[in-house]
């Protein structure tokens, strides 16, 4: 679903329809189940290392987001 951005009429805002939200929820559940099955094969120490690495990536992504110019404009 599309609507105009009230802060900037040149931009469009996008949102999922109710049917799209349902599909997204189903796909998200399936992806989470697959991830769980994949991670189950790792020994505990490897799981801990994976969590540490993923946390580092999340923190780096958050830092990049926080450093981005207002409005999401890219250089």
pLDDT of residue 72: 63
Per residue in 2-51, pLDDT (tens digit) is 999 899 989 999 999 999 999 999 999 999 999 999 999 999 999 999 99
- SS3 string, the chain, reads CEEEECCEEEEEEECCCHHHHHHHHHHHHHHHHHHHHHHHCCCHHHHHHHHHHHHHHHHHHHHHHHHCCHHHCCC
> pTM score, two decimals?
0.60
More confident residue, 44 or 70: 44
pLDDT of residue 34: 97
Nearest to 39 by CA among 60, 26, 53, 25: 53
Number of domains, the chain = 1
- Termini Cα distance of the chain: 28
pLDDT of residue 74: 55
Q: Is the pLDDT of residue 71 over 90?
A: no
Residue 52 belongs to domain spanning: 2-72
């Amino acid at each position: 679903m599309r609507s105009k951005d009230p802060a900037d009429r040149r931009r469009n805002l996008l949102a999922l329809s109710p049917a799209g939200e349902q599909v997204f929820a189903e796909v998200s559940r399936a992806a989470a189940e697959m991830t769980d099955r994949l991670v189950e094969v790792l020994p505990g120490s490897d799981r801990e290392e994976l969590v540490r690495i993923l946390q580092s990536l999340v923190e780096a992504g958050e830092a990049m987001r926080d450093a981005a110019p207002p409005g999401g404009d890219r250089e």
